[in-house]
Chains A and B, each alone.
Chain A
């Protein structure tokens, strides 16, 4: 984690108060994002990956709370900002692309009006100027500016998601958090969206935190990949490093369970068991109940995150002991 980081998350912990008790969503999570970098945060349900996005933008639901840690953006600790200061931040410096475009677009407003509204929230200019900015932006994203006059329901799923991306970048933020932006979209459209995001990073130097459950997607779009399990960061590395030499048993399991396209059919390899209940997580290493190489130490003590090789971090007592095949 270097010094000229744009966004620096240190020891972040987030909990939810549920009727069953205190649910640990994120536990002591640290990550650094540089300018123009794309990091994927990969995990399954209960890993805490979606909560991460909400926590950074401070838009956790009412029963969610940041209980520890710091998030530094451009030198300022966001956790200590007031609601007013946060509103300055959101959309303008850090923005978010949500999973379901149908719920993040106002069904009763025309696309153009939504873009104009977003702009005018943060900048002073007249409506016409804002409208033009919107139209130009859509064109640059490969969307016919005529769409400014449409309502969300008149557009296809892929188109809507592109509009959501437009809304997220219209004010030129430095960081965009994309929370499973391609869920539910077909493979070909998904591919087009990824291409679009990569282009935005190249042209506008936007840094992206890409949250997903799909390691394949993560590989395609990011520079580095962070793997989360049960609220903790378990492995972090440059993407080829991760795919070549995954050191955490969970990462290895995930890699093996992606059904790779091949002619020869082998049985799909899977990780036995289920993600843990985060109200009462397992003692010791949270992955031990499903880990093929768990030993007694793993059941008692939690491993720490260690830099095993340059810029390759793992949280496992036995990292790298089992070769990945």
Chain B
């Protein structure tokens, strides 16, 4: 039976030591850590769009970087197409990079300002020595067409600063796809673009996914976009996944107070009148309290929440929530649509 999962993440953890001032280091020996990603597990099926949603500081970008091994996990496992890539390094990692790629959030910073567009897109082919010089050039021109940059010959010789944000992001997409990877991590690819351009880019990415049979891990804070493109969604808070499930389940019948707060806080007209208001802001991820991380801000908290971290409760084959008070929430918010 062929493995239907392209990525499997098991108990993934990433801690960053906190930079302390010289004086602090003299006075206290204890090193503190930012718990950016704290024991998360999920998998991504071949051909799906898996959305990782959350606010800043929740660890979603860090998760993306870990999966493409731009960071090394502190703990846990990452399995890509059945291979354990958690600790691979050097040449082995370099060669494997043909299989998965990442599109970054900032199109103004992710392209080398001193390289021409054509060179930027061709460079992965040069690095991995694929094809002849002529073939590489042809491939780049074809990619430029695929991402909608006409006429490709003209764009080939331009520099990034001559392009708009949306165009630059298209170049980034072309660069990511030129090696024909099967898996792509998109780290908030449209959050720095104008609204009218965002839709263009998202549509382009979906189009390319269908054409090239890709699988996406789409990271975003925007539930609106997520709702349009995802098959499954995972909501993260302070390094943990609080809810995960199919699109209809998480959007239609969310069962975690944080998910509901996020969904109902989206500005605009369409959301069901009721809003779940929560106070305060996301705390820093350094001194994590025991018990549920959302306890301090949660309007549905019970005593147990402060002492015991909730484990996943299975609501369906695909829908899981980490909360002690699901029944109450279900009563107040049976459905959002």
Contacts and interface: CB of A to CB of B under 8 A. Distances in A.
A303 interface: no
Contacts of B151: none
A136 interface: no
B281 A159 contact: yes
A76 to B, nearest CB: 35
Interface residues of B, number: 44
Interface in A238-293: 243, 253-254, 257-263, 265-272, 274-275
B198 A257 contact: yes
A217 B267 contact: yes
Contacts of A191: 265, 267, 275, 277
Contacts of B199: 257, 259, 268-271
Given A186-B55, A262-B337, A270 B267 contact: no
A189 B261 CA distance: 11
A44 B228 contact: no
A259 B200 contact: no
B106 interface: no
A274 B266 CA distance: 26
Nearest to A259: B224
B266 A214 contact: no
Contacts of B252: 263
A267 B203 contact: yes
A191 B275 CA distance: 10
B229 A265 contact: yes
A44 B265 contact: no
Contacts of A243: 269
Contacts of B221: 186-187
Interface string B242-257: 0000011001100000
Contacts of A271: 196, 199
A158 interface: yes
Contacts of A274: 164, 166-167, 197
B325 interface: no
Contact of A261 (B251, B261, B275, B279): B251
Contact of A216 (B56, B248, B266): B266
A156 interface: yes
A100 to B, nearest CB: 14
B225 interface: yes
Nearest to B283: A156
Contacts of A268: 198-199, 202-203, 225, 228
A190 interface: yes
A188 B203 CA distance: 27
Given A261-B227, A268-B199, A274-B164, A187 B251 contact: no
Contacts of B266: 187, 216, 261
Given A44-B195, A263-B251, A270 B200 contact: yes
A258 B195 contact: yes
B270 A262 contact: yes
B150 to A, nearest CB: 12
Given A259-B225, A268-B228, A254 B269 contact: no
Nearest to B278: A188
A265 B227 contact: yes
Contacts of B203: 267-268, 270
Contact of B268 (A44, A189, A258): A258
7 contacts: A188-B55, A213-B195, A214-B195, A215-B268, A220-B268, A263-B251, A274-B197
Interface of A: 44-45, 156-159, 186-192, 194, 213-217, 219-221, 243, 253-254, 257-263, 265-272, 274-275
CB-CB nearest 8 A-B residue pairs: A270-B199, A259-B224, A216-B268, A186-B55, A268-B199, A216-B267, A271-B196, A191-B265
